[in-house]
């Protein structure tokens, strides 16, 4: 399965929340983060960011859901 990044978060916690949201819509998702982000629990000059990945064939749907989520937050 080909996975693509649909969002980059400033930390693992936010990425995991978004992963759970996408999975509640039936979209498989996973979080990829460097170990430093897990240890620090924050972003320092780009370190600690976490990528939210979904299967390439579900990327457009996931991006629509994320866009709606972030527009509702604003």
Q: What are phi and psi of 30, to 5 degrees?
A: -145, 160
Contact 55, 28 (CB under 8 A): yes
Domains of the chain by residue range = 3-73
**Is pLDDT of 22 > 90?**
yes
Q: Does the pLDDT of residue 49 top 90, yes or no?
A: no
Distance between CA atoms of residues 67 and 14, nearest Å: 15
Contact between 12 and 38 (Cβ < 8 Å): yes
pTM for the model: 0.81
Model confidence pLDDT, tens digit, residues 3-15: 999 999 988 899 9
- Kindly tell me if the per-residue pLDDT of 39 is higher than 60: no
Q: What pLDDT sits at residue 11?
A: 85
- Whole-number percent of the chain with pLDDT over 90: 66
**DSSP codes, 18-33:** HHHHHHHTT---EEEE
* The pLDDT value given to residue 45: 54
For 3-73, CATH number? 3.30.70
């Amino acid at each position: 399965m080909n996975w693509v990044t649909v969002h980059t978060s400033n930390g693992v916690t936010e990425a995991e929340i978004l992963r759970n949201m996408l999975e509640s819509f039936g979209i498989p998702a996973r979080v990829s983060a460097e170990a430093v982000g897990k240890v620090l629990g924050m972003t320092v000059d780009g370190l600690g960011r976490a990528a939210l990945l979904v299967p390439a064939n579900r990327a457009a749907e996931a991006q629509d859901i994320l866009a709606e989520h972030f527009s509702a937050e604003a």
